Amino acid sequence: MKLDATDLRYVTSDEFRVLTAVEMGSKNHEIVPTILIVKISSLRNGGVNKLLGSLAKRNLVARVQNAKYDGYRLTYGGYDYLAMRAMSKRDSIYSVGNQIGVGKESDIYIVADKDSNELVLKLHRLGRISFRAIKAKRDYMGKRKSASWMYMSRLAAEKEYAFMKVLYEHKFPVPRPVDQARHCILMEFIDAYPLRQIADVPSPGALYSKLMDMIVRFARAGLIHGDFNEFNILIRRESGEPVVIDFPQMVSTSHKNAEWYFNRDVECIRRFFKRRFRYESSIYPRFRTIKAETSEDGSDDWHLDLVVCASGYDKGEQKVLEEYMDNMLREKADGGSDGEDVGEGSSVDDDDESEEEEEAEGYSEDEGGDVRDAFEGQQELDSRNE
């Protein structure tokens, strides 16, 4: 999706009022009835219809006519706008540049602040790919199911930001977090290549040890990354030092499946080093050993999982996201070709394979928009059938 920053400046204050009303209405309505939008925005009736029309023209809202009533829903574009407006009001971002990444569940843009410093804006897009997981999720979403993609994406951004902040403060090699609003996070731009794009390193053994040490350091601090793979490890262009990104799925070492998550992170690195650099080592960290050591030497006091919770991050609300992620994981495990391939990138080692996997998920990069439309269309259909 294109983010047009210049266009964003031309939303009038009345239009903004109406857009906000649509957002508020979508907390309880999948399709927000036009009369409700009129009521919330408290502008004159005729005026609101015209404003809605102009917002719809710019794809910030979409008109939906169903059997029961006419209404509108907020689009990704509208939600993006609201988040970016909040950040620009706080002077965190000033202009939007190129898109540098399309993840399965995010879009990544280079943006700049007032002083032209480059930053990275990550827009979370949960619910973009897996329709089945959304269906499963509906069972426990309860009343909130109507705002599912928005709600899930915001939870993911809040979680990622909270973890990035605590990790950065404790000197883990992660990007400096700058700001967060709705489903977006803003962070330091790292001049680096993902490990996945790197064919050769001067010393695979040294990098391997560094990465394993990082997994251990996480665990000793009470955390497991949960998606520690060649896509989420960036190698700085200048120094060759690794930087870790992508935290919405982080789990505590006291999670009931902690050992499984831990082993998967370790395995991802081992497998990648074996395939890419022909590097194998019999030395790798074991969860139980770390657990035993940390309780012995008292470093258990330094529980970053608890620090994150204490930082105002809402653990209760985040349960919904956790279940969603678990669901996604199970989906991947069920749908995977050999059962053990779970998690982004754990099964992919060359481009052909990765395309195949993406197609199996019903998503490929240049089709992003269509799939999103299909997803939104699906939601509408679902709501009609209720």
* DSSP codes of every residue in 175-210: PPEEEEETTEEEEEPP-EEEGGG----S-HHHHHHH
C-alpha closest to that of 340 among 226, 260, 244, 233: 260
Q: How far is the CB of 232 from Mg ion (least distance, A)?
A: 5
Q: How far is the CB of 227 from ligand ADP (least distance, A)?
A: 8
Establish if 229 lies at the interface with ligand ADP (CB under 6 A).
no
Nearer to Mg ion, 18 or 129 (CB): 129
Instruction: Give the span between the Cα atoms of 200 and 203, in whole angstroms.
Output: 9
Task: Give the residue closest to ligand ADP by C-beta.
Answer: 103
Contact string 19-48 vs ligand ADP (x = CB under 6 A): ------------------------------
User: What are the distances in angstroms from CA 2 to CA 69, 151, 153, 283, 341?
Assistant: 31, 22, 18, 46, 32
* Binds ligand ADP by CB under 6 A, chosen from 34, 106, 146, 153: 106
Instruction: Give the span between the Cα atoms of 324 and 159, in whole angstroms.
Output: 13
Establish if 8 lies at the interface with ligand ADP (CB under 6 A).
no
Nearer to Mg ion, 229 or 379 (CB): 229
* DSSP codes of every residue in 262-287: HHHHHHHHHHHHHHHH----S----H
Q: How far is the CB of 101 from Mg ion (least distance, A)?
A: 8
DSSP H/E element including 104: none
Task: Give the residue closest to Mg ion by C-beta.
Answer: 246
Instruction: Give the span between the Cα atoms of 154 and 24, in whole angstroms.
Output: 14
Q: How is the beta sheet containing 184-188 ordered, strand by strand? A: 95-102, 106-112, 118-124, 184-188, 177-181
Q: How far is the CB of 140 from ligand ADP (least distance, A)?
A: 23
Establish if 101 lies at the interface with ligand ADP (CB under 6 A).
yes
Identity (one letter) of the amino acid at 122? K
* Binds ligand ADP by CB under 6 A, chosen from 84, 120, 129, 155: 120
| Binding-site size, ligand ADP (CB under 6 A) | 19
Distance of CA 179 to the CA centre of its chain: 15
Contact string 154-193 vs ligand ADP (x = CB under 6 A): ---------------------x-----------xxxx---
Contact string 209-248 vs Mg ion (x = CB under 5 A): ----------------------xx-------------x--
Q: Three-state DSSP class for 237?
A: coil
Q: Which of these is catalytic: 80, 107, 179, 227?
A: 227
SS3 content of the chain, % helix, strand, coil (to 5): 55, 15, 30
Establish if 97 lies at the interface with ligand ADP (CB under 6 A).
no
Is 227 marked active-site? yes
Residues engaged in binding ligand ADP (CB under 6 A): 100-101, 103-106, 108, 120, 122, 175, 187-190, 194, 231-232, 245-246
* Residue numbers annotated as active site: 227
Residues engaged in binding Mg ion (CB under 5 A): 231-232, 246
